[in-house]
Amino acid sequence: MGLVDQLVNQPHYTLVNQPRENDILSHKELFDSIPEEYLSHKEKYENAIRKTVLYYRLMQKYQNYKEGSTILDETRANYRNLVSFAVFKDYPPLMLHNGMFIPAIAGQGTPEQQKHWLKRAKNMEILGTYAQTELGHGTFIRGLETTAEYDPSTEEFVLHSPTLTSYKWWPGGLGHTVNYCVVMAQLYIRGRHHGMQPFLVQLRDEATHMPLPGVKLGEIGAKLGLSTVNNGFLAFEHHRIPRDRMLMKNAQVLKDGTFVAGPSSKLAYGTMIYVRVIIVNGMANLMAKAATIAVRYSAVRRQSQIKPSEPECQILDYVTQQHKLLICIATSLAFSTCARWLWDVYTGVMGQMESGNMDHLPELHALACSLKVVSTMDVSGLVERCRLACGGHGFMHSSNLPYTYGLATAACTYEGENTVLLLQTARSLVKAWQKGSKGKPLSPTEAYLMDKSPVPKWENTLDGIIAGFRRVSAGKVQDCVSKIDKLVKMGTSYEDAWNQTSVRLVAASEAHSRAVILATFRSEVSRAAAALSPPLSRVLHQLVHLYCVYWALERLGDLLLYTSIAERDVQELQQQYEDLLQKIRPNAVGLVDAFDLRDEILNSTLGAYDGRVYERLMEEALKSPLNAEPVNQSFHQYLKPFMHGKL
């Protein structure tokens, strides 16, 4: 399906904008009469549960899960991601149920386990989360302390949290919502350690919802965002579960305690790769939402004059405002394009692994890490830029930009903290360099590292810019390898040499990611454009061009170091950029309208389609409980005595 077909006809569009009678968003009981900002911490959660039940009941009614259609396809349709923005400004308490619990069973369970548990989970008969992170460890998975000791005499695993730092900490929905979870624990059999394995554990009684004996549960408290996700803590006190609760698709434990290893110990980490792939698309959606809000507001808002003789102009006519916002439109398209490309890579590798071929897993891991990092890093920064571009009204919760920032920035940390994941990709790049230097073939996305041709004359074209970013990445990787080799030759251990080079390694990893993103965005749009009308093809190519030139200007230092770009090229690039802003400006509102995000999904006083910004801001202000009375009781209780010197 071409790019714009994907844009306009993505599955979720058919689901979200389906005929009125089936339209979930037409059910107004899903929405809040009182803005959730005015609810207490506890009320917010309870209201979120109310809406969750309504939302899922409607989803099950309207979004018929085709038997055999995997949760991966449904999630890919963006359906939940987009429509849930309408019902929940933050993510719902069941975000992890669909986002990780079900995918973990699908990816780690045997066919029998999938048959039994996936059905119950998809029918919402049980609710689950994914419990890996602990109070003391998030990144360093091998350092996690929760244990699962196999007892062959009873054919059970004994789960235990030996220390406070071993308490599971963060899993969404864990506090008070879910009654099951996939727990990642260190497996021991007769005192021997068999690595991290996934266990499907019941936490609460299915009838009373009371925590089971030996299970301690609670929520971790107020956070920067995601206030309705009910992130919680979990501790086990020698809690016993049957042997068949270890998810045994990859590794198995036989009745007598024999451990049968899987093809790779890293397969237990497979759910994280899947989620990182999904996050890239989620970021594209968040960017589309913020860009729609900020661009529409910038078309409505008039402020100051460009010429004294003229009326106040749309703030979108300021080139500085175009500089802030047009890259946001291009960024959303870039990441939605890359997300579909990465999803196809993911499904391809999963298919190969089903037949035992693990060869492409390392490249997929490196790609998933780097694209998850760059998409979350860029979108967090650009959503904040959208907020700032809307002045004071962008600071209002009713604009929905602060919430959108919270959703984006959280993803810089969860599913692998960004620095750590860039170092993972760097690990892959250094290994590729070392492999290529021995004449061995490299993976398709890393093959450019071995381009030893002389640095060509710089060209201010898309090909020239993409080739330039590849030169930067290859140059940075080579510098890292040289520094590490030099340190090791001086007697430094490889590990210390790696750590001393890690700032450069992170930069090399980001450069590689940008080279992949620019090339993918460009090629996918070119492929789609062939099927489009000339005007549409032209504007999409303008966005690709803007995206490439923007990042070339953002990374000038690197290009000056590793390519033959000269001063006059830079001047020309800057002019190209400003010309593109001027060309795209007339289509800016049409482009965000093409994201086709309904008012209910935008959930924003500034981004509504009718542009009645001021009326909506006032409507929302009057919903504040403080506006229910002209004088608040605190005047009589505190201020008046204080002002009269009596307090």
Ligand X SMILES: Cc1cc2nc3c(=O)[nH]c(=O)nc-3n(C[C@H](O)[C@H](O)[C@H](O)COP(=O)(O)OP(=O)(O)OC[C@H]3O[C@@H](n4cnc5c(N)ncnc54)[C@H](O)[C@@H]3O)c2cc1C
Are the CB atoms for 337 and 521 separated by under 8 Å? yes
Binding status of residue 288 toward ligand LYQTPAFP by CB under 6 A = no
Binding status of residue 282 toward ligand LYQTPAFP by CB under 6 A = yes
DSSP state of 135: S
What is each CA distance from 44 to 40, 58, 96, 219, in whole angstroms?
Answer: 6, 21, 18, 14
Of 291-330, which residues contact ligand LYQTPAFP (CB under 6 A)? none
Candidates 29-37, 135-143, 576-584, 635-643; binding stretch for ligand X (CB under 6 A): 135-143
Candidates 3-11, 63-71, 123-131, 464-472; binding stretch for ligand X (CB under 6 A): 123-131
Q: How far is the CB of 100 from ligand X (least distance, A)?
A: 6
Binding status of residue 188 toward ligand X by CB under 6 A = no
Are the CB atoms for 447 and 431 separated by under 8 Å? no
**Residue 361, binding choice from ligand LYQTPAFP, ligand X, none, Cβ under 5 to 8 Å by partner class:** ligand LYQTPAFP
Q: How far is the CB of 212 from ligand LYQTPAFP (least distance, A)?
A: 23
Binding status of residue 247 toward ligand X by CB under 6 A = no
Q: How far is the CB of 199 from ligand LYQTPAFP (least distance, A)?
A: 15
Rounded to whole angstroms, the Cα distance separating 249 from 357 reads: 15
**Which one of 338, 369, 401, 423 is in contact with ligand X (CB under 6 A)?**
423
Are the CB atoms for 204 and 210 separated by under 8 Å? yes
Which helix (H) or strand (E) segment holds residue 569: the answer is helix 567-584
Are the CB atoms for 144 and 92 separated by under 8 Å? no
Site string for ligand LYQTPAFP, 166-185 (x = CB under 6 A): ------x-------------
**What does the chain come to in residues?**
647
Binding status of residue 131 toward ligand X by CB under 6 A = yes
By beta-carbon proximity to ligand X, the closer residue of 131 and 330 is: 131
259-260/232-236 β-pairing: unpaired
The two structure tokens encoding residue 592: 């965000």
Binding status of residue 170 toward ligand X by CB under 6 A = yes
**Sign of the torsion formed by the C-alpha atoms of 382, 386, 387 and 392:** positive
**Which one of 109, 128, 171, 362 is in contact with ligand X (CB under 6 A)?**
171
At residue 382, φ and ψ (nearest 5 deg) are -80, -30
Binning the chain into helix, strand and coil, the percentages to the nearest 5 are: 60, 10, 30
Q: How far is the CB of 151 from ligand LYQTPAFP (least distance, A)?
A: 27
Contacts of 618 (CB under 8 A, 6+ apart): none
Binding status of residue 435 toward ligand LYQTPAFP by CB under 6 A = no
The phi-psi region of residue 301 (left if phi > 0; otherwise alpha if psi is between -120 and 50; otherwise beta) is: beta
Candidates 137-145, 254-262, 601-609, 611-619; binding stretch for ligand X (CB under 6 A): 137-145
The phi-psi region of residue 629 (left if phi > 0; otherwise alpha if psi is between -120 and 50; otherwise beta) is: beta
**Sign of the torsion formed by the C-alpha atoms of 84, 87, 92 and 93:** negative
Binding status of residue 350 toward ligand LYQTPAFP by CB under 6 A = no
Question: Of these residues, 36, 74, 415, 600, which one is catalytic?
Answer: 415
The answer to whether 391 is annotated as binding is: no
Which residues does residue 217 pair with via DSSP β-bridges, in sequence order?
234
Binding status of residue 36 toward ligand LYQTPAFP by CB under 6 A = no
Are the CB atoms for 429 and 512 separated by under 8 Å? yes
At residue 461, φ and ψ (nearest 5 deg) are -125, 170
Give the binding-site size for ligand X (rule: CB under 6 A).
Answer: 22
DSSP string, 180-246: EEEEEEEEEETTEEEEEEEEEEE-B-TTT-PBPTTEEEEE----SS-TTS--EEEEESSEEEEGGGB
Binding status of residue 138 toward ligand X by CB under 6 A = yes
Question: Among this protein's residues, is 415 annotated catalytic?
Answer: yes
With CA atoms as reference, report the closest residue to 590 among 526, 543, 521: 543
Binding status of residue 420 toward ligand X by CB under 6 A = yes
**Which one of 25, 96, 187, 449 is in contact with ligand LYQTPAFP (CB under 6 A)?**
96
Of 140-159, which residues contact ligand LYQTPAFP (CB under 6 A)? 140-142
The answer to whether 133 is annotated as binding is: yes
**Residue 102, binding choice from ligand LYQTPAFP, ligand X, none, Cβ under 5 to 8 Å by partner class:** none
Q: Which residues line the annotated binding site?
A: 133, 172
Write out the residues near ligand X by the rule CB under 6 A.
96, 129-133, 137-139, 170-172, 226, 231, 410, 413-414, 416-417, 419-420, 423
Question: Known catalytic residues?
Answer: 415
Q: Which residues line the annotated binding site for FAD?
A: 133, 172
Write out the residues near ligand LYQTPAFP by the rule CB under 6 A.
81, 95-96, 99-100, 130, 132-133, 138-142, 172, 266, 269, 272-273, 275, 278-279, 282-283, 286, 361-362, 365, 407, 411, 414-416, 420, 424, 427
